[in-house]
């Protein structure tokens, strides 16, 4: 579900234009500061205030005319834009300090936390000016939500599942993760959704059975040639070599019972692959919309999986940069919890590849998600 502003410029192109304008603002800021300090001999602090104010004014005017194509300018719009730029500077500095505090080793390569802070601040600024400062150019969000009957919202968050189809890099990463950890040929997709992972595995010759409680999604899976059941009770005991569950366990009220049921249906030396949202501090309207009952910490999930009878082989956090983006979303995200395909696509193409590099540098010490792989002993 992509929201198009009145100018008909798509979200991705709009963001790229906004980033370009931000770069132009830096040129204005640096040029004015240099001229005032070196050319005219003014003090650094007075010059910095003047150069920042001129840069903000210049980018405000270009953004409103070229990026968002709004109506007549107003003092309120300018004041809001100025406030957002100040907030962005605070976020940039805060992320820089937080990153170094969480990972002291990064103090030796300050350009990395600096880049993280700059990217998160850019995303936050873009979201805020688009939603609040230039909101009169894009009223479709509230219109669509009001026109949408409440009965259309489903337990499984179908709308957000559709948006996540745009996350090609993210979905490819998860599919590769499943493939790397698969054992045997009889595999269960526990919470198969739209078949994002089951369908390519089936095409690769793997025998995939699906559990999916949503009737509409289950019907779609069946029409694609997959065996699909409403719950795990339909799966025979000790009939599976492997079960994977991607962003599903957090939906289940009694997750311990679900893990025990999976354990009963896996053969000795079979494997379980669990991927879930991490850290309750990131719990947002999006989690609430799609029915998340919790987010997980590594220690707690490992304990539950071990209590169910598995031996844990791997337990690591994933998507470290996504942690900061999710934190910003929790603070300033929309009230509906719906994510647009445009924002998903933007994060997937620009930030997720950087996040995977950062994951390797941080050795999975924190992240937006948590991966646990376990084996059923004899």
Q: What is the pLDDT of residue 351?
A: 86
- What percent of the chain stands above pLDDT 90? 40
- Contact residues for 276 (Cβ-Cβ < 8 A; gap 6+): 247, 248, 249, 250, 295, 296, 301, 369, 370
> pLDDT confidence of 372, banded at 50, 70, 90?
very high
Does the structure show a pLDDT above 70 at 139? no
Dump pLDDT digits (tens) for 297-310. Answer: 999 999 999 999 99
> pLDDT confidence of 10, banded at 50, 70, 90?
low
Dump pLDDT digits (tens) for 309-364. Answer: 999 999 999 999 899 888 887 877 667 778 878 888 888 988 899 899 889 888 88
Question: pTM of the entire structure?
Answer: 0.64
Dump pLDDT digits (tens) for 18-34. Answer: 888 888 888 888 888 88
41 vs 336: CA distance, rounded Å: 52
Instruction: Give phi and psi for 272, each to the nearest 5.
Output: -120, 135
Q: What is the pLDDT of residue 334?
A: 67
* Nearest partner of 155 among 347, 293, 316, judged by Cα: 293
Q: Supply the angle between the helices 11-34 and 44-62 in degrees, to the nearest 10.
A: 150
Q: What is the pLDDT of residue 160?
A: 75
Q: What is the pLDDT of residue 157?
A: 57
Dump pLDDT digits (tens) for 151-172. Answer: 333 444 567 777 788 889 999 9
Dump pLDDT digits (tens) for 211-249. Answer: 999 988 999 999 999 999 999 999 999 999 999 999 999
326 vs 287: CA distance, rounded Å: 11
Q: What is the pLDDT of residue 109?
A: 80
> What H or E segment, with its residue span, contains residue 192?
none
Q: What is the mean pLDDT of residues 199-203?
A: 95
Torsion on CA atoms 202, 375, 253, 208, rounded to nearest 10: 10
- The better pLDDT of the pair 41, 372 is held by 372
Q: Where are the alpha helices (DSSP H) in 167-290?
A: 168-181, 198-203, 215-223, 255-265, 285-290
């Amino acid at each position: 579900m992509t929201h198009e502003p009145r100018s008909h410029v798509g979200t991705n192109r709009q963001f790229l234009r906004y980033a370009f304008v931000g770069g132009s603002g830096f040129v204005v800021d640096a040029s004015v500061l240099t001229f005032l300090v070196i050319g005219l001999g003014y003090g650094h602090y007075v010059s910095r205030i003047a150069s920042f104010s001129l840069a903000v004014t210049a980018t405000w005017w270009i953004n409103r005319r070229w990026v968002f194509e709004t109506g007549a300018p107003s003092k309120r719009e300018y004041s809001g834009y100025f406030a957002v730029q100040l907030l962005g500077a605070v976020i940039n500095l805060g992320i820089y300090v937080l990153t170094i505090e969480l990972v002291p080793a990064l103090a030796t390569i300050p350009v990395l936390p600096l880049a993280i802070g700059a990217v998160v601040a850019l995303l936050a600024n873009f979201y805020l000016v688009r939603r609040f400062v230039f909101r009169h150019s894009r009223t479709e969000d509230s219109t669509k939500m009001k026109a949408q009957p409440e009965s259309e919202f489903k337990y499984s968050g179908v709308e957000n599942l559709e948006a996540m189809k745009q996350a090609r890099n993210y979905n490819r990463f998860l599919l590769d993760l499943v493939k790397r950890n698969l054992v045997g040929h009889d595999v269960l997709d526990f919470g198969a959704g739209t078949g994002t992972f089951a369908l390519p595995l089936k095409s690769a010759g793997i025998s995939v059975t699906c559990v999916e409680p949503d009737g509409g999604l289950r019907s779609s899976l069946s029409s694609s040639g997959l065996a699909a059941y409403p719950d795990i009770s339909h799966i025979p005991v000790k009939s599976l070599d492997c079960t994977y569950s991607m962003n599903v366990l957090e939906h289940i009220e009694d997750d311990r019972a679900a893990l025990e049921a999976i354990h009963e249906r896996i053969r000795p030396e079979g494997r379980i692959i669990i991927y879930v949202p991490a850290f309750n501090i990131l719990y947002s309207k999006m989690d609430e919309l799609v029915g998340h009952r919790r987010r997980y910490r590594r220690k707690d999930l490992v304990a539950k999986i071990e209590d169910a009878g598995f031996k844990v082989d791997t337990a690591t956090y994933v998507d470290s940069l996504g942690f900061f983006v999710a934190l910003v979303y929790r603070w300033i995200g929309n009230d509906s919890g719906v994510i647009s395909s445009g924002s998903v696509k933007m994060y997937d193409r620009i930030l997720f590849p950087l996040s995977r590099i950062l994951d390797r540098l941080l050795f999975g010490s924190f992240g937006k998600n948590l991966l646990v792989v376990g084996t059923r002993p004899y």
